[in-house]
Structure 1
């Protein structure tokens, strides 16, 4: 009779079907191999990761508050200083260009859009590039004389105002997604109204 062994992933005892079977199921085997390859994803169990995550959140929140608490006419200068700093600071550049923050429409508890989104939108407005392209020190930025900087910058949810009073708005991924979602909702409302009219 085969003796029972303990699964190293879930600590459950099981009877192996083969001599070299270590795990009780495929799920345990896959989970253990993923953890061995990349380490645990749980930040709570790693003090260094938890400290780094908290530092990143605090830094990004402070930058977001600093941007939105200053008058709109000074925000472009603030973002230009932030770009110059991030091009020479790899850690700050990594924090500002995290793909998971750029993919999601992130707002903090005060309803402010995160600094990563604001900087990405500003880079598209002024440079015509995404923030991770502008912040890359290997890329050469155009001269300031060839760029049009907004006189007042309000954030991604409002178009910036330029010196001549005009409004310019480059298309960005989340604005296109927002427009398509609103258009889909409008079409759904029209279909439901049409169905109600036919039923009446």
Structure 2
């Protein structure tokens, strides 16, 4: 068996590192830069799209400011609504978010649900926490499960809508001084000790 000797200028003789993944490859064409089509697509997509971080891109910063403004506006609208009508406000928000993907993404963002920072001026929690708290109280599900249009919601007969809903910022004490204990929907009840 004889070894194939490539001429010095042929593409097969050269071994190049892929600029995207770093894998060594033998180019099949003289202008081939990437090891495969996936690396080429990924690298070109990132170059054409530009930076996605808000610190680096003015477009990303503008989108982030618009989202923060909408979120803050929904929060203020909720807290300005009298407690008697707040559950109706949240139900309308749920109905609209199940049909509008952008609103659904806005109020179920992981960053908002992880962050317990309060609003600058009022010291209240934002709408994502209010909605998540409401969904846990009424539907016994997290907000992203309730807002998913693929999931079927339980019938209104099985749900208990609060007559007045104050949100997660409600005082933790009853009027008589007892501590309010809200049962967590995902915590299993304790078993009675057997004797």
TM-score, normalized by the shorter chain, greater than 0.5: yes
Gaps of 5+ in 1: 1-18, 23-32, 161-166, 174-200
1:1-200, aligned counterparts within 5 Å? Answer: 40=51, 42-109=53-120, 110-158=122-170, 169-171=182-184
Structure 2: which 5+ residue stretches go unaligned? 1-15, 20-42, 173-179, 187-195
Cα displacement (A) at 1:41: 5.0
* Residues 140 and 185, structure 2, Cα contact 8 Å, conserved in 1: no
Larger Rg computed on CA atoms: 2
Q: Give per-residue Cα distances to partners, 1:64-92, cap 9 Å, x unaligned.
A: 00000111110000000000000000000
Per the TM alignment, residue 123 of structure 1 is displaced from its structure 2 partner at its CA by 0.1
Label 1:84 to 1:105 Cα distance change in 2 as closer, same or farther (>3 A).
Answer: same
TM-superposition CA deviations, 1:98-134 (whole Å, max 9, x none): 0111012131112010000000000000000000000
Structure (1 or 2) with the greater helix fraction: 1
Paired residues of 1:79 and 1:119 also in contact (CA < 8 A): yes
Structure 1 ranges of 4+ moved more than 4 A: 36-39
When residues 68 and 101 of structure 1 are mapped into structure 2, their CA distance, relative to the original with a 3 A threshold, is: same
TM-score, with structure 1 as normaliser: 0.61
Q: Is the 8 A contact 1:153 1:159 kept in 2?
A: no
| TM-score of the pair, normalised by structure 2 | 0.62
How well do the aligned residues superpose, as a CA RMSD in angstroms?
Answer: 2.8
Deviation at residue 51 of structure 1 after TM alignment: 1.7
Q: Kindly indicate whether the alpha-carbon contact (under 8 Å) linking 1:123 and 1:130 is maintained by their aligned counterparts in 2.
A: yes
